[in-house]
């Protein structure tokens, strides 16, 4: 301050004429910088080619599914088809797809869909952690095309490599949402081969909402074959036998092995009574701790529950005109090796077309439409056991 006060007026004016423009210039530069500053643009192509969006695998015991190799051969490879993974609840669809994605995760974009998303494009932007609000079929098509081109310049990707979008639907997703998502996947997975699409349905009946398209390839995930169910329990050390002799014995023939242990006999009873659906097998492991009494009680209660479900289905008042689900169940029991097909409106014998029946079976699980054979079967082995007890 003393310096400034000692200056003459003319000196102050001269100094101010130099300092003030300099300060204004510095302020202008700062202001311009803040107004024009933007974060570095996200390189989504590089993000898709270098990021593992799949994450780690669950800690649960996993038994390799027979469909795994076929599904893996489609992931990341160009093709006009898009895949729909379907099957009853609790059969292991999500686990199967998770392992397939984890085997080669780069370029796989997993998306979890519910009714809150209006379209697939917004859900993909969430996976890619994008703040942009303009995602649509055009922007995604351009992104996947440029990503594919960039991958071809790298030695780490095959010549037919494409990004893969795996969409898993939450339980309770409406039919309208399923139709919209299937439409979006169809547009993305065009014949030009921009990407591969995989749609994982939460319930087998949701397949009726998927629009008919010759390019759709259905993968039906069924319950374990009995040998895989044994392997699953072996892995969990559940109801194991006392010796390798018995282990070999039960795998060959129960009838030829009267000396089988109680544990293996109980395993056989579980499989024949309620089936080999992985969710049921896991429930027994987690809740019975090999207590034979608890296992027996659970099996009986499970059959009672299945019987209650069938009674509700057979007595359903709002069923399609002429539909008789009890007669359908009898037909299945009479000819267990013959498909009970309902592709025609044959109401005379109580048969009903799948789309009409689906509206009822969504609320009354007991029967299941098996897509590969285009026929009906019981929803589970438990329902079959209950039906035998009720109708015989």
Q: Does domain 45-220 have CATH number 1.10.890?
A: no
90 Ramachandran zone, left/alpha/beta (phi>0; psi -120 to 50):
left
In order, the DSSP letters of 87-139 are: --TTSSHHHHHHHHHHHS-TTEEEEEE-TT-SSHHHHHHHHTT---S---HHH
Q: What was the pLDDT predicted at 85?
A: 92
> How far apart are the C-alpha atoms of 12 and 6, rounded to whole Å?
10
Neighbours of 334 (CB within 10 A): 10
What's the pLDDT score for residue 296? Answer: 92
Side-chain half-sphere of 143: how many Cα atoms within 13 Å?
Answer: 25
Two domains, one topology: 45-220 and 308-391: no
Reported pTM: 0.78
Residues whose CB is less than 8 angstroms from the CB of residue 372 and which lie 6 or more positions away in sequence, other chains included: 218, 220
Q: Is the dihedral of CA 239, 245, 247, 250 positive or negative?
A: negative
Q: Give the strand order in the sheet containing 196-200.
A: 108-113, 164-169, 196-200, 82-86, 216-220
pLDDT of residue 272: 92
CB 366, CB 376: distance < 8 Å? no
For residues 368 and 389, what is the distance between their CA atoms, to the nearest angstrom? Answer: 19
Q: Residues in the chain with pLDDT < 70? A: 1-42, 58-60, 115-118, 131-133, 191-192, 241-261, 316-323, 336-360
Cβ atoms within 10 A of the Cβ of 375, count?
17
Report in angstroms the alpha-carbon separations of 19 from 5, 8, 25, 28, 226: 17, 16, 10, 14, 89
Name the architecture of domain 308-391: Orthogonal Bundle (1.10)
Concatenated DSSP letters of 291-329: -HHHHHHHHHHHHHHHHHHHHHHHT-TTSPTT--HHHHH
Nearest to 200 by CA among 161, 170, 244: 170
Q: What is the pLDDT of residue 305?
A: 94
- pLDDT for res 324: 72
Give the dihedral sign, CA 160/371/67/366: positive
Q: What is residue 270's predicted lDDT score, i.e. its pLDDT?
A: 93
- Tell me the domain boundaries of the chain: 2-36, 45-220, 226-290, 308-391
What is the pLDDT at residue 353? 52
Residue 202: per-residue pLDDT: 83
């Amino acid at each position: 301050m003393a310096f400034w006060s000692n200056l003459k007026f003319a000196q102050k004016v001269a100094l101010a004429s130099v300092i003030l423009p300099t300060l204004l210039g510095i302020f202008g530069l700062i202001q311009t910088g803040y107004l024009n500053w933007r974060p570095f643009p996200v390189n989504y192509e590089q993000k898709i080619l270098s990021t593992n969006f799949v994450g780690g695998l669950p800690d649960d015991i996993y038994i390799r599914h027979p469909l795994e190799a076929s599904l893996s051969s489609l992931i990341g490879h160009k093709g006009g088809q898009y895949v729909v993974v379907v099957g009853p609840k609790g059969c292991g669809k999500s686990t199967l797809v998770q392992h397939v994605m984890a085997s080669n995760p780069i370029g796989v974009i997993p998306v979890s869909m519910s009714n809150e998303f209006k379209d697939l494009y917004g859900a993909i932007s969430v996976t890619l952690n994008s703040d942009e609000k303009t995602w649509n079929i055009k922007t995604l098509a351009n992104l996947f095309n440029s990503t594919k081109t960039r991958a071809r310049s790298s030695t780490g990707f095959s010549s037919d490599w494409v990004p893969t979008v795996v969409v898993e639907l939450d339980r309770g997703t409406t039919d309208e949402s399923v139709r919209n998502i299937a439409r979006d996947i169809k547009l993305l997975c065009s014949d030009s081969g921009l990407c591969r699409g995989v749609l994982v349905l939460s319930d087998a009946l949701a397949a009726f909402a998927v629009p008919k398209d010759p390019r759709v390839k259905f993968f039906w995930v069924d319950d374990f074959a009995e040998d895989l169910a044994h392997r699953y329990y072996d892995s969990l050390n559940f109801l194991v036998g006392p010796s390798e002799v018995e282990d070999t014995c039960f795998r060959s023939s129960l009838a030829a092995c009267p000396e089988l242990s109680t544990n293996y006999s109980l395993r056989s009873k579980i499989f024949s009574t309620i089936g080999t659906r992985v969710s049921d097998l896991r429930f027994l492991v987690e809740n019975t701790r090999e207590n034979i009494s608890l296992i027996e009680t659970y099996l009986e209660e499970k059959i009672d529950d299945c019987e209650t479900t069938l009674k509700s289905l057979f007595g359903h008042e709002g069923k399609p005109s002429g539909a008789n689900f009890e007669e359908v169940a009898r037909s299945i029991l009479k000819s267990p090796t013959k498909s009970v097909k309902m592709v025609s409106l044959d109401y005379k014998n109580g048969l009903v077309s799948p789309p009409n029946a689906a509206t009822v079976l969504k609320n009354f699980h007991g029967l299941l439409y098996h897509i590969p054979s285009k026929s009906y079967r019981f929803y589970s082995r438990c329902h079959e056991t209950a039906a035998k007890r009720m109708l015989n």
